[in-house]
């Protein structure tokens, strides 16, 4: 066969290979526009190669617009764009009315719907503050769902945005199965119990957990913003607990956690003497009767606002304090 014919055939084959699959940087090919069903599947609207390749390693993207609390518009490094629906969570709507029956405990009434509408605006504002204009990692990709949106978990600055929405009470756990669902469910239970954010719309939210005001243990001080770079001064990021009672408090099995479920557990010998205080440092050091060290390798408490939650060995909240 004439060399020119072979050359033409080779070019056509090469062009066909380049027109399919993900882009060279791992972003989805702009031509993959297969309509997706309402029920997400591993390959709906996404090339099998793309789905397999990105489920574990993730995709880098820049958030160009926050549609609402659980939906983002993003741009990939190669310039193509996409819409991402956060997996595993559901925030109240902002563009259409929210059905209160989707959020357990919220009354199915005009008042409940109005309250959820306001909560939807708050969720959108939270997501905007967290990731608008930021470069994020899309992980745990599970194909496409309704409206051809990419289903993914969003990681930014070492945190999962999906989980933070639930932990801060801005979202419920969606009726879906995914790795880590139990942790998400525990965070939702805690937010509902505390009447946090959207859960204030419920019939009888407990804005202050039982035992948070009437016990001898109190959160006396929070130093969330260490001098200089927080990650370089972890020992200066502290939470101080105080025992105002007349008897010692055995802290075996007690925990200190934040809204993102970072949790420190006291060792079996930990005791807070009557009338004494104890300071928990984020960094590393030698534990004493008055100072304990989390051993974390990065900052825990958000400078712009967070909640310190102390639970006893049975899981009851005994002290809670928000700041920011």
Q: Above 60 in pLDDT, residue 71? A: yes
Domain assignment of residue 1, yes or no:
no
- What pLDDT, on a 0 to 100 scale, did the predictor assign at position 67? 96
Count: domains in the chain: 2
Tell me: pLDDT of 124 over 90.
yes
pLDDT digits (tens, 9 = 90+) for 208-218: 333 344 579 99
Average pLDDT on 280-288 reads 94
Whether residue 119 sits in one domain with residue 268: no
Q: Kindly report, residue by residue over 93-111, the tens digit of the pLDDT.
A: 999 988 999 999 999 999 9
- Residue pair 268/252 in contact (Cβ under 8 Å)? The answer is yes
Do the domain assignments include residue 305?
yes
The Cα–Cα gap between 4 and 168 comes to 65
pLDDT digits (tens, 9 = 90+) for 187-205: 898 888 878 889 989 854 4
Task: Please state, in angstroms and rounded to a whole number, the distance separating the CA atoms of residues 17 and 49.
Answer: 13
Helix (H, G, I), strand (E, B) or coil at 91: coil
Taking the whole predicted model, whether its pTM rises above 0.75 is answered as no
With a cut of 80, say whether residue 163 has pLDDT above it: yes
CATH number at residue 279: 2.60.40.1260
Q: CATH no. for residue 153?
A: 2.40.50.90
Q: Is residue 212 part of a domain?
A: no
pLDDT at 209 (0 to 100): 39
Q: Which domain holds residue 302?
A: 217-323
Mean pLDDT of the chain: 81
Same domain, 191 and 267: no
The b/e string for 166-178 (b: 16+ C-beta within 10 A; e otherwise) is bbbbbbbbbeeee
Which pLDDT score is estimated for 34? 34
């Amino acid at each position: 066969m004439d060399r020119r014919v072979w050359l033409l055939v080779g070019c056509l084959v090469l062009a066909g290979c380049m027109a399919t699959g993900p882009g060279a940087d791992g972003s989805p090919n702009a031509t993959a526009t297969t309509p997706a069903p309402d029920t997400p599947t591993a390959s709906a609207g996404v090339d099998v190669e793309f789905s397999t390749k990105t489920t574990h390693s993730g995709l880098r993207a820049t958030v160009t617009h926050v549609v609402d609390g659980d939906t983002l518009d993003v741009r990939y490094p190669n310039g193509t764009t996409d819409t991402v629906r956060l997996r595993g969570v559901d925030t109240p709507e902002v563009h259409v009315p929210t059905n209160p029956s989707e959020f357990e405990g919220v009354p199915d009434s005009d008042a409940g719907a109005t309250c959820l509408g306001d909560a939807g605006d708050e969720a959108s504002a939270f997501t905007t503050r967290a990731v608008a204009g930021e470069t994020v990692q899309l992980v745990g990709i599970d194909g496409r769902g309704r409206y051809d949106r990419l289903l993914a978990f969003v990681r930014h600055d070492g945190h999962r945005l999906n989980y933070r929405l639930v932990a801060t009470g801005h979202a419920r756990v969606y009726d879906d199965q995914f790795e880590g669902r139990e942790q998400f469910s525990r965070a939702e239970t805690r937010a509902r119990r505390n009447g946090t954010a959207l859960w204030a719309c419920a019939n009888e939210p407990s804005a202050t957990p039982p035992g948070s005001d009437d016990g001898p243990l109190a959160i006396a001080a929070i130093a969330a913003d260490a001098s200089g770079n927080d990650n370089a001064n972890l020992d200066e990021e502290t939470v101080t607990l105080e025992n105002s009672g007349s008897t010692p408090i055995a802290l075996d099995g007690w925990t200190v956690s934040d809204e993102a479920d970072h949790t420190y557990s006291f060792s079996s010998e930990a005791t807070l003497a009557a009338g004494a205080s104890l300071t928990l440092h984020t960094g590393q050091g030698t534990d004493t009767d008055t100072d304990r060290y989390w051993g974390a390798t990065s900052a825990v408490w958000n400078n712009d606002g967070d909640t310190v939650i102390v639970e006893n060995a049975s899981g009851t909240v005994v002290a809670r304090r928000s700041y920011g």
